[in-house]
Structure 1
Amino acid sequence: MKLYHKIMIGLVLGVVAGLILGEKAAYLKPVGDIFIRCLRLIVVPLILSTLITGVVSTGNIRNLGKTGITTLVYFMATTTLAVLIGLLVANILQPGTGLTLGEMKTFNAPDPIGPAQMIVNMFPMNPMEALAKGNVLQIIIFALLFGAGLSMAGDAGKPVSRFFQSLAQVMFKVSDIVISFAPYGVFALIAWTTGKFGLDILLPMGKLIIAALIASVIHIFASYTLLVATVGRISPLDFLKKTLEPALVGLSTCSAAAAFPFSMRAQKQLGVSPKVSGFTLPMALTINMDGTALYQAVAATFIANAYGIDLTLTQQGTIVATAVLASVGTASIPGGGLIMLTMVLQSVGLPLEGIAIVAGVDRILDMFRTTTNIFGDNSAGVVVASLNGELDREVAATPLDEMELGSSVHVDKEGHLVDDLN
């Protein structure tokens, strides 16, 4: 039985266990927490080692710049499309219409961060602090600069390069160990979520949940698959099957970072060069926020409906611009999603207290957001690899049952990330 089969079984059994056990399912939560901790402990060294090794293996800063620009353009384009889809679905369904607000809770808005400060925050003053805090965007900036420096240092930098090559190899093996426990972690987390919230919470906020779900499904099954088919020229069905594993992990953990090792596996199975996936996936963790941006559009419309406010075309255009720009700068900030929604509401003059309305079902909505982000992360790798001539379509067309389970990425004698998947 393949790992993704076990994860799906764990997901279904977790829902059943949560409904049966109710609040007692909280006893299972420590198992899920340990699983998430193990996933997060490998993310920072994995990103650092693979990104530095990937930069060194290119041997050409110009090629790295081309990959970076292509990746950024793709993320901005799909994020814009996601917001537009969210607005379209929300305008059709009008999810907040007829909602009885009841007693409002007060909400203290965090101080907004300007675009200039967002850019400044990307650059670490102390790389050790960035590593300790897990500030992924700052780690990426440091890894890019450090990798470029190693390439320019020539023979003097080779001992250090070999260290990070060895670290990358070790982290791939550690990832295999942690990944093998995924079915049990997914089972525990879904059981706790279902036991805590049950089905009752879905009723009063049903239209908001349905609107977010429909918009996410449209973006995943229309936008991503169309881009993968037209630009990547691989089967959308193959793409969806091989991305299902990290998507299920993201659905249960609500963490794209936790799904990062699984996305690395999916990229190998999709035929994406490790040189490309080692760059696009770390970038995606902080910049690709399609699911979150889509949610901002749905949530803003929901809050406007609930307060009886009609959003003009100009206001909706402002939501698009604010959500796209905010998605780039807020990902690595603690509480970034909250700050992002605050910025969107402020941009069109909606009451910030409206955030308290959606807080009760935020966990459910976060599952949709994270799953959408993960599909977007993997589609980016396929598209960028195809444009750069780094996509192996024969591997992408190989059925999952004929592929090896373990990590097949390693570092060759010349220090390049290579993939022996068969």
Structure 2
Amino acid sequence: MSSSSADTSAPAPARPRIPKIPFWAQILLGLVLGVVLGWVARNWDVAWLGTTLTKVGEIFVQLLKLAVAPLVFFAITISITNLRNVHNAARLATRTLLWFMVTSLIAVVIGLVIGLLTNPGSGTGLSSKDAAKPPSDSTGSWLDFLTGIIPTDVITPFTELKVLQIVFMAVVVGIAALKLGEKAEPILKLGESVLALLQKALWWIIRLAPIGTIGLIGTAIKDYGWDLIGSYATFTADVYIGGALVLFVVYPVLLATVAKVNPLQFFKGAWPAIQLAFVSRSSVGTMPLTQKVTERLGVPKEYASFAVPFGSTTKMDACASIYPAIAAIFVAEFFHVDMGIKEYLLIAFVAVVGSAATAGLTGATVMLTLTLSTLGLPLEGVGLLLAIDPILDMGRTAVNVAGQVVVPVLVSAREKILDLEAFRTARSFSIEEAEQDDSQRGAPVPAAAGAGG
């Protein structure tokens, strides 16, 4: 055989593959581009760029909200029925809610201490003209909160995105399905299929997070610049310091002492959900990824499918505890209203009991108005804080989602059902890998996998 023929038969060299950019790097790139483009739009008065950034951010948030109502309903309904496959389900549910309250109490105490030490409402340079009542649809009192839980019909909560009412209906349907037993199986099968479809669609939206980040961060910089942050410097620092203390001190201490696991390994496994929460500003929008990292950290699937959806709508250590505590002190100081021990205890009570008012959506305005109305503080104070809210909400949501993973790990460890080997080997992963793994999951894990305690 000639050398020329040998050459023609040789396999063609493989084309070099373009390396995939990790999701965290895409998010970071989106943050940087958002800041730069927002600065350009603001300082050079580039109208079309500002409009584009606003529309990109609005579309991303709207896509997340589009899936919220059905996702919350089916996720919570199915999560309640999945408890039938878990040993000692009632005790798991009770301990989960107990840890929700314990961590919320710790968070609100931290918020109160920081607020009292720093006086965030003093020396802001703001005046009473900057204060305005919040929109009527975001205000709330205890009466509104309690009566608003029960819907007047089954359609309005979905069309008007009243998440708390959706949660109420989902809980009722889930408990009813448990009582019906086999008769409810066809409906539950349909619900599981619908939930799988919604989660698949949400994975596609999650892939757009880096682009959404450019729009959201760019719009914040374009609209507010750095001057606004300067006026709220102490308040902004307080909220982020409080969140950092909970995220990097309280949670690690609880993991090390209560669950007796390595906190660094926890962050390694949970980081994909925490970073997505930071840019999306939505606990519900992050829910599929939150559940994924929770399961990969060794929490049984059946229990995780209960704890994470409930946590995504009711577990808000930053939005419902740290933020309202500091914000209430800010408003009281701004309007020169004295507060005492009774008022601080009321803040703690609202944070522990009323956290469901945040409902896993972007922003914590409803929770803040609930706190201010309980204390008798002017609701105009909410208007002072609305401008800075998008910047604060990123850090708040990241802390919220971290707490939604911490509690299932704590409860699973205490109940002896945490897969310690899975926890020790948990690692960060790409969005594509998580989506593929979620799609390939077959039948539910046998009940024995969730037994113990």
Point out where structure 2 has 5 or more consecutive residues left out of the alignment: 1-20
Shift of 1:78: 1.3
Point out where structure 1 has 5 or more consecutive residues left out of the alignment: none
* Partner residue, 1:375: 402
Shift of 1:297: 1.3
* Partner residue, 2:434: 405
Amino acid at match of 2:235: L
Distance 2:55 2:200 in 1: 24
- CA distance 1:63–1:34, change in 2 (3 Å): farther
Shift of 1:210: 0.9
Query: Does residue 27 of structure 1 match 2:49?
Result: no
Amino acid at match of 1:219: V
Amino acid at match of 2:108: V
* Partner residue, 1:42: 67
Query: Does residue 51 of structure 1 match 2:76?
Result: yes
Shift of 1:314: 3.3
Q: Helix, strand or coil for the counterpart of 2:434?
A: coil
* Partner residue, 1:12: 32
TM normalised by structure 2 equals 0.80
CA contact (8 A) 2:126 2:231 kept: no
Number of aligned positions between the proteins:
417
* Partner residue, 1:327: 355
Q: Which moved more, 1:197-206 or 1:258-267?
A: 258-267
- CA distance 1:356–1:154, change in 2 (3 Å): closer
* Partner residue, 2:227: 200
- CA distance 1:133–1:307, change in 2 (3 Å): closer
Per-residue CA distance 1:332-375 (angstroms, 9 max, x = gap): 49999434333433444444433333333222222232222222
Shift of 1:217: 0.8
Shift of 1:84: 0.7
Q: Helix, strand or coil for the counterpart of 1:408?
A: helix
- CA distance 1:181–1:126, change in 2 (3 Å): same
Shift of 1:267: 1.8
Q: Which moved more, 1:15-24 or 1:271-280?
A: 15-24
Distance 1:407 1:133 in 2: 33
Distance 2:385 2:349 in 1: 22
Shift of 1:242: 3.2
Match for residue 202 of structure 2 among 175, 181, 184: 175
- CA distance 1:176–1:339, change in 2 (3 Å): closer
Distance 2:126 2:324 in 1: 20
* Partner residue, 2:16: none
* Partner residue, 1:277: 304
Query: Does residue 358 of structure 1 match 2:358?
Result: no
Residues 82-121 of structure 1 mapped to structure 2, 5 A cutoff: 82-105=107-130, 107-108=132-133, 112-114=140-142, 118-121=145-148
Q: Helix, strand or coil for the counterpart of 1:255?
A: coil
Residues 218-297 of structure 1 mapped to structure 2, 5 A cutoff: 218-292=245-319, 293-297=321-325
Determine what percentage of the aligned residue pairs are the same residue.
27
* Partner residue, 1:66: 91
Shift of 1:35: 2.5
* Partner residue, 2:238: 211
- CA distance 1:95–1:56, change in 2 (3 Å): closer
